[in-house]
Amino acid sequence: MKRNLVKFGLLSLAAFGMSGAVRASQNATDPAVATAVVQGPLKEVWRAYTNPKELNKWMVAASAVDLRVGGYMRTSYKKGSDLTGPDVIENRILSFDPERMVSMQTVRTPDRFPFKEAIKKTWVNLYFEPIGKTKTRVTCRMMGFNTTPESVQLRKFFEQGNQLELDKLVQHFKKK
């Protein structure tokens, strides 16, 4: 199933059936949480997420990062992208604490992204926690969901997509 998930640089909605249902154990407004333990030291895992050369090795085909409050992270899954076309995802950096946390809000999506209104109300906090000297726990908390059908579908979309992204990071460090 995972190989069918990448589309728009995110996920294919059809790959996991967008019914819009939320599991009984959670509310539609709860954060979507994904977590993974990466076999790499904190400094290297932070760099893998915040340095364009590293991002391009495991997550996207092209990226640019201006790591400052008000800065951006632009990404594209299209090889050779100039990061200005219809394939670009742009996140504005809301806050960060080096090697601990970065908070971002999506301000631009690929042209074909289906949840353009709902995503405007969300943001993501990524937490980086050392586990000894050789492992790092990365936790992604996406917040700002509401009970509208579009927001419920967006939440389900990113529950899958954010975990897939963390799994790719884990795999990247296993190859090192």
Phi and psi torsions of 66, nearest 5°: -115, 85
- The full set of domains in the chain, from first to last, is 2-11+26-175 (3.30.530.20)
Question: Contact 65/59 with Cβ under 8 angstroms?
Answer: no
Return the pLDDT at 176: 77
What does pTM read for this prediction? 0.85
* Span 116-135, pLDDT tens digits: 999 999 999 999 999 999 99
* Span 16-74, pLDDT tens digits: 333 334 444 478 899 999 999 999 999 999 999 999 999 999 999 999 999 999 999 99
Alpha carbons 85 and 74: distance in angstroms, whole number: 11
Return the pLDDT at 98: 98
